[in-house]
């Protein structure tokens, strides 16, 4: 099968701490892949390196056979784990920004999502509630017809209702041919979404498997396997 992301011997250190330690991963096209691990396991660092937000690392990362560069950034729609809106921006400014910067941005898709999320067009983004800002950021990212979508903890710290809306929207509105990477430490209720899972533990990729095969082989749910791998009490 064609691979869209190839990671070889990826190591990233912060002082004496190894955030990533020789990670090797080969991620296929068109799959939904869960990057799972507890807090501090290296999920966000891995994602930041794939998206080019961190350039100071050892090892190599190839996206569609190209090293991380402005060409690969055009392929990736990235939802970081924090809000990145500038104080001056209104929604219409953000729309123009995405339209100018990303050739795959679909305005109609965005307006559909905007209506679905009931977000007004005129207001300054900083005046929206945090929940609406999160939905807006999600709508911008999903309105791109990207080859790779990367969601860093999209359901971290949100209430169960919003969590359901976010997951359902990601599944319905993504480009169906694209690869989706979704990192989370909240396994409950998401295992049904993933074609494949990667477990990160202390900066190492300790497992990369097809979800169904893994669950069938172990005879346990993904949540139970996760707890077992990370030595949590079931």
Partner 1 sequence: MLFKLMKHEILASYRKFLPLYLASIGISVLMALSVEIDNVLLMSTSMLFTIGTMMMMVIFTLYTIMMNLGHRVFGKPGYLLFSTPSSTLDILVSKSVVNLMWLGLSGVFSVISVIVFYLIAVGKDIQLIVDNLIAELSLNPEIIFTSSVSLLINGIYTIGFLIFLFTLLNMIYKGEKKIVIGILLYFVLSQVISLIRTSLYRGTQFIPILGGTTGSAVWFNNGLLLLFAAIFYVSSYFIIEKRLELQ
Give the residues lining the site for partner 1 (CB under 8 A): 14, 48, 51-56, 70-71, 73-74, 76, 78, 80, 82-86, 88, 93, 96-97, 100-102
- Work out the number of other CB atoms within 10 angstroms of the CB of residue 72: 21
Pick between residue 97 and residue 230 the one whose CB is nearest to partner 1: 97
What is the strand order of the sheet 204-210 is part of?
76-79, 148-152, 179-184, 32-36, 196-201, 204-210
Closest CA to 22 of 4, 10, 5: 10
How many angstroms from the chain centroid is the CA of residue 223? 19
Pick between residue 83 and residue 206 the one whose CB is nearest to partner 1: 83
Q: Minimum CB separation from partner 1 for residue 67, in Å?
A: 13
Pick between residue 101 and residue 123 the one whose CB is nearest to partner 1: 101
Dihedral of alpha carbons 135, 176, 187, 45, sign? negative
Closest CA to 48 of 57, 39, 36, 38: 57
Cβ-based neighbours of 184, under 8 Å, separated by 6 or more: 34, 35, 36, 153, 154, 155, 156, 190
Three-class SS state of 226 = helix
Pick between residue 78 and residue 151 the one whose CB is nearest to partner 1: 78
Q: Minimum CB separation from partner 1 for residue 82, in Å?
A: 6
Pick between residue 81 and residue 111 the one whose CB is nearest to partner 1: 81
Q: What is the token pair recorded at 190?
A: 């998401």
Pick between residue 53 and residue 223 the one whose CB is nearest to partner 1: 53
Pick between residue 73 and residue 227 the one whose CB is nearest to partner 1: 73
CA distance readout (Å), 50 to 10, 20, 46, 141, 209: 10, 13, 6, 16, 20
């Amino acid at each position: 099968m064609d691979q869209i992301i190839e990671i070889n011997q990826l190591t990233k250190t912060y002082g004496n701490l190894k955030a990533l330690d020789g990670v090797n991963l080969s991620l296929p096209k068109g799959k939904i892949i869960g990057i799972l691990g507890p807090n501090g396991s290296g999920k966000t660092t891995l994602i930041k390196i794939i998206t080019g937000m961190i350039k100071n690392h050892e090892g190599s990362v190839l996206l569609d056979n190209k090293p991380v560069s402005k060409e690969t950034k055009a392929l990736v729609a990235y939802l970081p784990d924090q809000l990145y809106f500038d104080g001056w921006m209104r929604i219409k400014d953000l729309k123009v920004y995405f339209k100018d910067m990303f050739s795959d941005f679909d305005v109609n898709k965005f307006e559909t999502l905007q209506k679905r999320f009931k977000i007004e067009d005129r207001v300054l983004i900083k005046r929206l509630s945090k929940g609406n800002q999160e939905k807006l950021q999600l709508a911008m990212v999903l309105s791109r017809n990207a080859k790779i979508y990367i969601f860093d903890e999209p359901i971290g710290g949100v209430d169960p209702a919003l969590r359901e809306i976010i997951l359902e929207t990601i599944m319905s509105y993504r480009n169906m041919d694209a690869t989706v990477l979704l990192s989370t430490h909240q396994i409950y209720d998401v295992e049904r979404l993933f074609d494949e899972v990667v477990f990160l533990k202390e900066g190492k990729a300790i497992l990369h498997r097809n979800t169904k095969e893994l669950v069938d082989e172990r005879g346990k749910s993904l949540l139970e396997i996760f707890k077992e791998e990370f030595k949590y009490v079931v």
